[in-house]
Amino acid sequence: MKIGINYLSMLPQSLSQVRRDLEEMKKYGFEAIRVTGQDLSWMLKIVGGAKKAGLKIWLCPRFAHNYPMLSGEKYLQKMREFAKEAEKYGIDVFLVGNELSLELKDFAEIQGYENRSRNWLFFEKQFRERRTIFREYLTLLAKEAKKFFSGPVTYAAGAWELSAIDWSEFDIVSANLYLWQGFAEKMYEETLEKLKEYGKPVVVTEFGFTTTREAWEVGPRHIYGVRKFPSSIRNFLLSHPAIIRKILQLNPRILLKTKIPHHYDEETQKRLIKKNLKILAKSKVTQAFVFEWSEPWKAGFGLTHNGIPKKALSLFPLKP
């Protein structure tokens, strides 16, 4: 099983820090990097560094925190731009999106990523009512991406989306699968076996744990949230991602706040990642991407914080 790592382009690193991160990833045995975000010009700088470091590159557009949310049509236009650049820069795998049922206007009445996450039962009900248009939309994205990108195309699906996806237009079956109290071993293994039935490579595009004593109970939820700002300020920040990176570099708490009470615990994160890796190896998935290299919030999912490794990073590179 090949191991990759998620790298969010909104993180506050300088380009020199990014290059150091990429070299460290290679040293720890990560074969590929998944670069996710909305600032394409900045993401392509990361891509350049990843190529020099000898990493395979999976590129994924993500416009999760726009408000008003992007429509499917607007996102399609942006996805085309990403696909064109992916071809131009020799990206290894292109993802047409990530958990788009949470991130685009069309797939629930509830508007806003945070609002959908907070009102999960209502969101799921509204999404189920739109499963058909979601399926058709993803098929459209795959077909459109292939007009511009000649390499493998996939989509990072949320676990709740899997039954609504037709994978026939995709080259790889991919899902963000988090092992936790609400999605424990039996369900996790059964889901992986189900994904293998499509006869295509199966890749887990996200797996990981917060650096907390409560990681098993918290699961995929972020323990911090984005502070509320007037729409004018929010829209300004979203249109100037370099400013967001600078603020996160100076003090993450200007933009972020604690959402779930927690206790910092590197040992629990390490133990659970080790457990997850064993399940993935047993299921013989083609590849799995740890979520993630770093986060601005110390107790988040990152394997490092401010360039300092956490204990879980010692699990890599994997032993044969």
User: Residue 167 belongs to a domain with what CATH number?
Assistant: 3.20.20.80
- CB-based contacts of 233, cutoff 8 Å, min separation 6: none
Q: What is the pLDDT of residue 138?
A: 99
Q: Please indicate, yes or no, if residue 29 is contained in any of the structural domains.
A: yes
Contacts of 158 (CB under 8 A, 6+ apart): 99, 101, 102, 175, 176
Residue 177 sits in which domain range? Answer: 2-315
Residue 195 within any structural domain of the chain: yes
Q: Where are the beta strands (DSSP E) in the chain?
A: 2-8, 32-37, 56-61, 93-98, 153-158, 173-176, 202-207, 224-226, 256-258, 287-290, 304-305, 308-309
CB proximity list for 179: less than 8 A, separation 6 or greater: 185, 188, 207, 272, 275, 276, 279
Q: Are 170 and 153 in contact (CB under 8 A)?
A: yes
Q: Are 79 and 45 in contact (CB under 8 A)?
A: no
Please list the ranges in the chain whose pLDDT falls under 70.
11-12, 224-226, 238, 249-250, 253, 256-257, 320
CA angle 29, 204, 135 (to 5 degrees): 150
Region for 90 from its dihedrals, namely left if φ exceeds 0, alpha if ψ lies in -120 to 50, beta otherwise: left
The total number of residues shown for the chain amounts to: 320
Confidence at residue 257, expressed as pLDDT on a 0 to 100 scale: 67
Question: CA separation (Å) from 217 to 44, 182, 200, 231?
Answer: 36, 8, 32, 33
Of the candidates 288, 295, 220, 248, the residue with the CA atom closest to the CA atom of residue 34: 288
- Asked, for residue 320, whether it belongs to a domain, the answer is no
pLDDT at 250: 67
As a 3-state breakdown, the chain gives helix, strand, coil percent values, each rounded to 5, of 50, 20, 35
- Residue 247: what pLDDT? 74
pLDDT at res. 118: 85
Please report, as a single letter, which amino acid is at residue 104.
Answer: L
Q: What is the pLDDT of residue 67?
A: 79
Burial class (CB in 10 A: 0-12, 13-18, 19+), 171: middle
Q: Which amino acid is at 24?
A: E
Q: Is residue 75 situated within a structural domain?
A: yes
Cα–Cα distance, 102 to 134 (Å, whole number):
11
Q: Give the model's pLDDT for residue 233.
A: 78
Q: How would you class 263 by CB atoms within 10 Å of its CB: exposed for 0-12, middle for 13-18, buried for 19 or more? A: exposed
Residue 208 lies in a domain: yes
DSSP-assigned states of every residue in 248-275 = HHH-GGGTEEE-S---B-HHHHHHHHHH
Report the number of distinct structural domains present in the chain: 1
| Residue 262 pLDDT | 86
Q: Is 172 a domain residue?
A: yes
> What does DSSP assign to residue 280?
H
Q: Are 223 and 256 in contact (CB under 8 A)?
A: no
